[in-house]
Chain A
Amino acid sequence: MRDVAVVAFAQTAHSGHDTGLTEAETLHPVIEEVRRATGLSRFGFTCSGSCDYLAGAPFSFVSALDALGAWPPISESHVEMDAAFALYEAWVRLQHGDIDSALVYGFGKSSTGDLREVMTLQLDPYYLAPLGLDQVSYAALQAAALGGDRAELDEIVRRSRADGRANPHALDLPDPSGTEYEVEPLRPYDIAPITDGAAAVVLAAGDLARELAETPAYIGGIAHRIEPHYLGMRDLSRSPSAADAARAAGVGKGPVDVAELHVQFSHEEPMLRAALDLPEDTVINPSGGPLAANPVMAAGLIRLGEAARRILDGRARRAVAHATSGPCLQQNLVAVLESAPPSEEGARRG
């Protein structure tokens, strides 16, 4: 595998309410920021993630292309998934060897619709969606299946929100309080906040990575896996697809200083921690994670960006990033980011 690294990352100051900007207007500044940071105005490949049902109209990616200034025409593609999966596609494309740079971005405005019910629409359309099973409800079913410790979950939320308050890009959320349930066993604060935002990452391969960053965040391994869909036919207390992806990405091949996990509900943190088999001393979601800011369709990419940022600025030597898609962690992507190029030890691949 060719050495590919994250060399730049930018995200919006995420908002908990509609600021009156369109998705494309939200995105434009982060594209400008990664262009400035890398000095690149053109990229060998561009890939993005966004969602029509989140936007409320078909072709959400078309206006983003206009915000980008895609001229002369660019080599470009789009996934209807979190932009972390767009990053995977870009990483694969860089493996061809004919191009050296890629721009990846994702964006979403959850504030315009009702995220809980929009997410109902991704369920089996015969047996689950007609029941009106919403996102918080199916997450609560998973939390119940796990049977997590309340004090541990409260501490996860407290820590995530405190870290979020220290992160200028995350929301300012208070320490968790209140004993009422949203959908038992989930309390309102167990649920990631409604967030609008965007993020962009630049990947570079080979010599270009070293030219653009002093310590590029090399992708040591990256993989994703999906599992069956119907909730009643899965052991909801485990995430085998996250475990498989982590093994394929080589998470266990070394120490993990930091892990940024796509935790949209507090109980997902212990589940993912177990699935990824993370060491005790790994720092989880120092950015605050999605429990402090969850711009849907960008939140997974932000995990990769936040993990990479800690390699880029020298605070970590080996970091793990995780992104998810589908109901109850149905599909999971895991990446290992390292300060040393993988060619020195042979990259793991998906």
Chain B
Amino acid sequence: MPSDPPSALSAGTTAAGPDPLEARHVLEFPGGYTRSTGPVIGRFLTELRDRRIVGVRTAGARVLVPPLEYDPDTGEAVTGEYVEVGPAGTVQAWAWVRAPRAGHPLDRPFAWATIRLDGADTSLVHAVDAGAAKAMRPGLRVRPRWRERPSGNITDIECFVPEVTMINAPVRAEYRVRPGAALTRFFTKIKDGVILGGRCATCDQVYVPYRTSCPSCGVLIQEEREVADTGTVTTFAINNLPDPRAPEVPFVSAYIMLDGADIPMIALVGGVPAHEVRQGMRVRAVWVPPEERTMSMANIRWFAPTGEPDVDLSAGVPGGGV
């Protein structure tokens, strides 16, 4: 069996291939979260922008750096008294990052450290650019290296450097996401122009899209059941806010009970002016040409009216519906 490689050495071994059923999914609020700081954090960051580091005094006369709004020991609000500390300080504990990650403040090996700034009673967590791990030790004296253009963020201190030798908050999480076993099966059939459902043997209901357990009974669904690409609009919304998945505004998103299914799917209705869509209207899937089909719902452009007479919904929703 192989030994445990550090992460940078194994990077790339899990790189996604051209698997059409693996997608990159990024959660990133455009422009970054707009974080209001409140007066205490705001004061610290304002001083930081002026290249000063301040702490705040607690009722018990301790100096907290960075200033917290509430004394972590007592939970009381801190006093309004700010005290300039540092800028030099002493390393308490440190951890060495051999292979920096994209989000780290430095792109070369560095230390994370808890640093007791002169005049403070608590430690600040920050990075130390020490060149090599062996330069780090508890008690090491460090001072801040300032960013060229401070903006009022904890990263205005680019890092700390050993004394002797030398906000806006982007949040981003990236995932590799796969559709799961049931949806993979469903998309495989969608690629062939078939809408696949699953029938629960316990409650005799046909679920679309295909799924492997019954939301009502909690049992495994083992029987696949193809359903028609025709159905009935049970209800719908006319959306006047644009959506990247819809060709224009307004667009209709409808609950469509496919023939042979017992639960509606939500899909676009097209090929008809929005205000002519009706509850009970009969529709049929408009598929993209076979050569353009992929393993996704994009194969169905939308559902368009068949021209058949409307279904009378007052007698209950077709295909079940309690």
Residue ranges of A at the interface with B (Cβ–Cβ < 8 Å) = 17-18, 20-22, 24-25, 28, 31-32, 35, 41, 53, 56-57, 65-71, 111-114, 116-118, 120-121, 125-134, 137-138, 140-141, 143-145, 174-178, 180-189, 228-234, 236
| Docked CA distance A232–B92 (Å) | 9
B96 at the interface (CB under 8 A from A): yes
Are B217's CB and A71's CB within 8 A? Answer: yes
Count, chain B residues at interface, CB 8 A: 73
Known: A120-B103, A128-B125, A133-B125. A53 touches B173 (CB 8 A): yes
B174 in contact with A114 (CB, 8 Å): yes
Chain A interface: which of B208-216, B246-254, B272-280?
B208-216
User: Which stretch of B78-86, B180-188, B189-197, B298-306 is in the interface?
Assistant: B180-188
- On whether the beta carbons of A132 and B5 are closer than 8 Å, the reply is no
- Tell me whether A56 and B175 are in contact (CB under 8 A): yes
**Contacts A112-B177, A141-B114, A228-B72 given: A131-B125 contact, CB under 8 Å?**
yes
Chain A residues closer than 8 Å to B65, beta-carbon distance: 232
Given contacts A69-B217, A174-B1, A188-B7, contact A134 B98 (CB under 8 A): no
Tell me if B219 is interfacial: C-beta within 8 Å of chain A: yes
B114 contacts which of A28, A67, A131, A232 (Cβ < 8 Å)? Answer: A232
Pairs A–B under 8 Å by Cβ, sample size 7? A69-B219, A114-B174, A126-B167, A144-B93, A186-B95, A188-B6, A232-B115
Residue of B nearest to A41 (CB): B218
Instruction: Find out whether the CB atom of A130 lies under 8 angstroms from the CB atom of B3.
Output: no
Q: A56-B27, A113-B173 are in contact. Are A144 and B7 (CB under 8 A)?
A: no
Residue from the list A56, A134, A145, A178 in contact with B93, Cβ < 8 A = A145
Is A126 a contact partner of B35 (Cβ separation < 8 A)?
A: yes
In the complex, chain B residues whose CB is within 8 Å of the CB of A130 = 153-155, 167, 169
* Bound-state Cα–Cα, A303 to B113, Å: 32
Provide the residues of chain A in CB contact with B217, threshold 8 Å. 69, 71
Contacts of B95 in A (CB 8 A): 137-138, 140-141, 143-144, 183-186
Contacts of B180 in A (CB 8 A): 20-22, 24-25
Contact of A126 with B41 in the complex, beta carbons under 8 Å: yes
Find residues 143-179 in chain B having any chain A CB closer than 8 Å to their own CB.
153-155, 167, 169, 171, 173-179
Q: Is the CB of B105 within 8 A of A132?
A: yes
Closest beta carbon of chain B to A128's beta carbon, Å: 6
Residues of B within 8 A of A228 (CB): 72-73
Q: Are A177 and B216 in contact (CB under 8 A)?
A: no
Which residues of A lie under 8 Å from residue B126 when comparing CB positions?
A: 131
